[in-house]
Structure 1
């Protein structure tokens, strides 16, 4: 993107605004009639601080009750790093708008970076104090998806105790038997799109694969669509059981080859694919996207410790949680907990179910073709700690393929520099090469 000349925005546009998030216009010098700063002034001053890496100064602009939370210097640093990871260096603010409601003003800004524009929102109270700031990008369909080449159908999966909304995407006008893919979520709550603001990884994969001739089914995860009691929160209940229902639903779709169904799991979903394959018995293949191999309690704590330390600012709130989790992890290792007791953010039943499932041995004992894909910029699941472990344990197993991608993060989206979770909300898409590699591998099943 060519550098833009820095200009003073002549007007403040009016736009709708809702929940907290955002950032601001770097240069406007407007004041109210009484000479005080306008909300846009306050917001632009915050962006100026962030762009200059003055995170402590930015923290002081927040209302006192939010300084330790929304205005934490470490949080602000990671937020700014998220923009930079996706789009490089900051250039300028190119647009602003404001909306005032119930005594709060939302300042929405469009920020220009080297590799694209992004949106943010800052919330300011009546006394010109900051209340919140976050990324507010909207999703854009990737260029490799041809909307005229695909057809979508909304479906409902009837699973135990509830129903899950889903979407089947097929090659438009498909007259033959297309292979099919069921997409399985990572840990935690998830929708059929796995939307995180400006990103929708499962939408990219579903529509991208369909453009290349592969039918797909994606669905809302049981959490938060259905109520699950803590003592019932197991790997089977929240992941495997529903994936098996989805497989059967896709097999019944006209134009889909029931003998060529593949399960593609992301994160914890990838770790679960050997179990899904074993219980189904007739899958044509499974693929693990950033599938963790190491003990999951170790992985969970190490992810948090990374978030604490990745920037120059120490995130005290997260450090406190990490200290508590370091104690809880010993309980998990010793098995000293109740099924409903929460440890490392998950009920004891979840940890019991993982302890009872040997993912490495299950994969090693399976004859289902298996494909592992891993981004080198992924801080949650890593090549060294996870993919290498899969390779070692599955050495000599036929039908096993491994692929790595230098610049991709946990969502298989491109970026640069340290990977941070805030980048998942910045407008981006699953890399086209990942979709192409999956489609090629599935075509051989």
Structure 2
């Protein structure tokens, strides 16, 4: 929606302010443009969350009163334009929360800096490709990067973490799979990365997909790589990150010809155990009390039980809503106030419910990769960062190591990388709200570990 400028209006320009949420400061930037016809359009950036170019769906002005509506994130800003036209003092509203926000006009708005993002010219070939998953009746779209050589090369397929992911695993303004693909291909390893089904240019329905579907998509990608003359079919591996590191062992067992696995931030416990560990670690690092954490984990366990036992989605939704009300009633006024700073608990729950009752999440709760991991016979490299709060490294890496030793696996490397978070960035706390603020996308030592291990293995295999 576009609103025509009023005479003397000063809305066109860059407007920047800072939201204070639960002790965090999040910068917000609005870019408002005035067209030749006097109509306003705009976009919004959240540099500290790595978000840029979010469409402003409406720019409204009534005298000194200004409103920016951002339908894509269910947010809005309402404020009063100062007489000099350089400030707008008002309030940010989103998912039931209301926070004070003052915007100032600036010629130098905050920018998202990602120094590792690859820039041309590239020392390798890039092809935009599609490959079929014939059983699902869909085509998946991706990018294949190929070393500039005439000899067949080792190759990997990248498998992203949970949630709808594009081929670059874009998150918080970072593109870790693009950085990883660039690094590996520059060193002689072909890389296939692709959009999840139903995401980007890939066909299919992400909302109804399960882990099993994602495994089959990777198998289809492997089949495609084996058709490429540039790739050595005996030296193709799988690199999985987070949930993708759950999928990778399933692929290796079902395929039987995978040459190696690289497991990045891989869970070594069941889905339910992982979510409880993750929640406790993040709440603890965020400064919540043990009492509050215990209350939340009790409700979380009950929620998981509902999801495993409810006979229908509608029944599950109502029971989960009741549990949420029970949780809120158990909080002290101080705990309730802090929680509400992050947004209305009811509104946040309603936004999450479709995910909670989805086939994917229900399968994830009961999934445990350890029995499958015990059946993997190819070489394995498992890496995690010591500051990973989403997949806490020590318990998960130790479980992976235990499974591999007990199964008699002989060729594996388990390593914890100091100071790195879930995305393999150097981090202060490891909290997810840091991801976007960190300029680094992928720690050089992690990239080097992956590359060196694969090339050593690939060279040994070529010499056999």
| Class of the TM-score when normalised by the shorter of the 2 chains | 0.5 to 0.7
Evaluate the alpha carbon distance shift between residue 348 and residue 110 of structure 1 in structure 2; reply closer, same or farther with a 3 A threshold. closer
What is the rounded CA distance, in whole Å, between the counterparts of 2:309 and 2:246 in structure 1?
24
1:346-375 superposed Cα distances (whole Å, 9 cap, x missing partner): 446335645776521222222111110101
Aligned length: 358
Alignment counterpart, residue 371 of structure 1, candidates 369, 373, 381: 381
Local SS of the residue matching 1:425: coil
1:399 aligned partner: 411
Partner of 2:251: 276
- C-alpha separation between the residues in 2 aligned to 1:300 and 1:381? 9
In structure 1, how many angstroms separate the alpha carbons of the residues matched to 2:387 and 2:160?
A: 20
Indicate whether 1:167 and 2:121 are aligned.
Answer: no
Is residue 155 of structure 1 aligned with residue 129 of structure 2? yes
**Partner residue of 2:301?**
326
Kept after mapping to 1: 8 A contact 2:43/2:53? no
What's the counterpart of residue 261 of structure 1? Answer: 236
- Match of residue 425 from structure 1: 436
- Do the aligned partners of residues 125 and 370 (structure 1) sit closer, same or farther apart at CA in structure 2, a change above 3 Å counting? same
Q: Distance in 2 between matches of 1:303 and 1:285?
A: 28
SS for the counterpart of 1:390 is helix
Cα distance in structure 2, aligned partners of 1:433 and 1:138:
20
What does 1:207-356 align with in structure 2 at a 5 Å threshold? 207-224=182-199, 225-228=202-205, 232-237=208-213, 239-312=214-287, 324-332=299-307, 335-338=308-311, 345-347=355-357, 349-350=359-360, 353-354=363-364
1:422 Cα offset (Å)? 2.5
C-alpha change, 1:336 and 1:194, in structure 2 (3 Å) is same
Q: Is the 8 A contact 2:270 2:369 kept in 1?
A: no
3-state SS, counterpart of residue 309 of structure 2: coil
Q: Is the 8 A contact 2:238 2:262 kept in 1?
A: yes
1:42-191 residue pairs with structure 2 within 5 A?
Answer: 43=16, 46=18, 55=20, 73-74=21-22, 77=24, 79=26, 99=32, 125-127=78-80, 128=88, 129-131=90-92, 137=112, 139-142=114-117, 147-159=121-133, 160-172=136-148, 174-191=149-166
SS of the residue corresponding to residue 283 of structure 1 reads: coil
Residues 260-318 of structure 1 deviation map (CA, whole Å, 9 limit, x = unaligned): 0000000011012111001111010111100111121232244344444433479xxx9
- Deviation, 1:39, is 11
The change in CA–CA distance for 1:297 and 1:257 in structure 2 (over 3 A counts) is same
Match of 2:179 among 200, 204, 207: 204
Alpha carbons 1:192, 1:218 under 8 Å: kept: yes
Q: Secondary structure at the match of 1:377?
A: coil
Distance, in Å, in 2 between the alignment partners of 1:183 and 1:200 is 13
User: Bigger relative contact order, structure 1 or 2, given CA contacts below 8 A and separation 6+?
Assistant: 1
Look up the SS of the partner of 2:421 in the other structure: coil
Shift of 1:167: 0.2
Relative to 1, partners in 2 of residues 1:264 and 1:147: Cα closer, same or farther, differing over 3 Å? farther
- Cα shift readout 1:135-192 (whole Å, capped 9, x = no counterpart): 862544458x8843221100012222332220001112x1111100000011111000
Partner SS, residue 282 of structure 1 = coil
- Whichever structure has more strand as a proportion of its residues is 2
User: Shift in Å at residue 329 of structure 1?
Assistant: 1.7
The superposition leaves residues 227-259 of structure 1 with CA deviations (integer Å, 9 ceiling, x where unpaired) of: 5386x532111x201001111111222311011
Q: Please, which runs of 5 or more residues in structure 2 have no aligned partner? A: 3-7, 57-67, 69-76, 81-87, 94-100, 102-108, 321-352, 459-464
- State whether residues 132 and 140 of structure 2, in contact with CA within 8 Å, keep that contact through their aligned partners in structure 1: yes
CA contact (8 A) 1:79 1:423 kept: no
2:394 is the counterpart of 1:384: yes
CA 1:291/1:151 → structure 2, altered by over 3 Å: closer, same or farther? Answer: same
Cα distance between partner residues in 1 of 2:259 and 2:172: 33
Query: 1:100, CA displacement in angstroms?
Result: 5.4
Shift of 1:441: 1.5
Question: How far, CA to CA, are the matches of 1:229 and 1:199 in structure 2?
Answer: 22
Supply the distance in 1 between the matched residues of 2:157 and 2:440 (Cα, whole angstroms): 22
Tell me how far apart the structure 2 counterparts of residues 428 and 219 of structure 1 sit (CA, whole Å).
23
**In the TM superposition, what is the alpha-carbon distance from 1:201 to its structure 2 partner?**
0.6
